[in-house]
Amino acid sequence: MITFDQFKQLMSFETEGKYCIEIAFSVKDQGKFSSCWMGKTPEEESKADSYWFGLTADGNNAFEYRTFEEFVSAKVFEGRSLFEIWDKVAVSEINGCDPEEQILHYIGK
């Protein structure tokens, strides 16, 4: 399991205006959130990073934020934030790879 501190370190990885981080996850005991995505992507023009959620396959529950703090504090999980529900988050992949292996690549531990 990835700790919130590890997740925070992962999301602080410098994208250099060209790299993306995409994380597939689910929220335990929440069928509505059984196949979700979140990530960090640089904007094409400004190269500033954007943090985002894709909570349903149809795209109707997509949210974008300018800062990590806004991202983890947004109450998009039925009135709760990512920070509040982290103990129920199950990360299934990071950039299409095993999360336990990928986290080591990003945080170096």
Query: Mean of the pLDDT values across residues 14-41?
Result: 91
Q: For residue 31, which phi and psi values (nearest 5 degrees)?
A: -55, -35
What 8-state DSSP symbol labels residue 76? T
2 pLDDT higher than 70: yes
In angstroms, the CA 69 to CA 80 distance is 14
> Three-class SS of residue 52?
strand
> pLDDT-derived band of residue 19, with 50, 70 and 90 as boundaries?
confident
pLDDT of residue 31 exceeding 90: no
The predicted model gives 82-105 an average pLDDT of: 94
Q: Above 90 in pLDDT, residue 11?
A: yes
pTM of the model: 0.91
pLDDT band (50, 70, 90) for residue 24: very high
